[in-house]
Structure 1
Amino acid sequence: MPPRTLRLRFEQLDRAESRLSHWLAEFSRHAPTLWLFRLVSRLGDWPAWVAVALLQPLLQGQQGWLIAAHWGLTASIAALVYRLLKTRLCRERPYITFDTIRCTMPPVDRYSFPSGHTLHAVMFSCLTAASSPKLLPIVIPLAVLIAISRVVLGLHYVSDVIVGALLGFVLAWGSGLAALFVWGG
């Protein structure tokens, strides 16, 4: 699709989502809510997922190191995919497009599509479900809060988060297939 056509499609999508994005971003005006979503967003930068990966040797024994390494490789591939899409598609962040949407946390970069935080949150949730389901009562609520935080903080549109979640699921699924092929399970 030519860049101009893509830009027009994003502009249409931006307008369609502006009310919902604005409504969700208004929750950041409440100080405790803002604090919570900033915290979970920072955890979603990488600390939460490194911690879950490093728990694998404790939970799985020696095989846990292989699981943690596999997750690290999967996260690296996910970061490359996410960065490639983000720099090619160039969707402006909501607070840039609409001055009624506040940015309440400094962004890592200029563009919003897809949400890398959500991609990694869903991907690690799926990987956790496959190897350490007992951690899901912690990981799933954290992943949901991370996804919501991206819109509440004014950094993403809802569609950025949805596409990030779908990509995270697909990457985790592909990673699981690769593990089956390489290690036989």
Structure 2
Amino acid sequence: MNILSLKQLDEQLFLRLSGANRWPGLVTACRYLSRTGDGYWYPLVGLMAWCLFPERGTAFLIATLTAFLIERPIYWLLKNGFKRNRPAQANLGIAAVVTPSDKFSLPSGHTAAAFVMATMLSTFFAEIQWLAYGWACLVGYSRVMLRVHFPADVVCGALLGITVATAVISLV
């Protein structure tokens, strides 16, 4: 019996998922989804929440800023500690669809940030919980479809984002 390693399983799942991006419309959608996780709009969301819902919005803004101040250095230390090659450097014969902003892949920073935001939004604005987590999952999925992350990178990014956000929420 041939038992596959976690790395091999991750690579096989990556090849199955990323092979579906031969559809031009899906690639375009994934590009846009991925860009929503770049983080440029996160401050705008915080300011909108603060303006529209002064009490909840203030707490949301403070908690979210705190979470990102904790999550970003942890993400950077993990990424530069694991030094896992991105799929394009893993000799799988597949090139990335977009140019990643850094060299290593574990954890996915886009996914970690998206799950920080989704967890914060879900905590302070429970009425949009499914929308927030659905969006965060799609950001992670888009990173695999754009061939810049393995599925395990996305799962680790999601766990990082949820863990940091939950820890900050319990302290605020």
TM-score strictly above 0.5: yes
Which segments of 5 or more consecutive residues in structure 1 lack a partner in the other structure?
Answer: 1-11, 180-185
Is 1:84 the counterpart of 2:77? The answer is yes
Q: State the one-letter code of the partner of 1:115.
A: S
* SS at structure 2 position matched to 1:45: coil
Matches within 5 A, 1:141-152: 141-152=134-145
Q: State the one-letter code of the partner of 2:42.
A: W
Cα distance, 1:59 vs. partner? Answer: 3.6
Structure 1: distance between partners of 2:139 and 2:67? 19
Cα distance, 1:85 vs. partner? Answer: 0.6
Look up the match of 1:47: 40
Look up the match of 1:162: 155
CA RMSD of aligned residues (A): 1.7
Residues 118 and 161, structure 1, Cα contact 8 Å, conserved in 2: yes
Q: State the one-letter code of the partner of 2:143.
A: R
2:116 aligned to which of 118, 123, 131: 123
Look up the match of 1:107: 100
Give CA deviations for 1:117-148 in whole Å, capped at 9, x if unaligned: 11111121111111112233432221111010
Which segments of 5 or more consecutive residues in structure 2 lack a partner in the other structure?
Answer: none
Give CA deviations for 1:68-92 in whole Å, capped at 9, x if unaligned: 1331221121111000110111000
Structure 2: distance between partners of 1:22 and 1:63? 43
Change (3 A) 1:168 1:27: same
Look up the match of 1:70: 63
Higher helix proportion (structure 1 or 2) = 1
Moved more, 60-69 or 152-161: 60-69
Moved more, 52-61 or 32-41: 52-61
Equivalenced residues, count: 168
Q: State the one-letter code of the partner of 1:131.
A: F
Is 1:173 the counterpart of 2:169? The answer is no
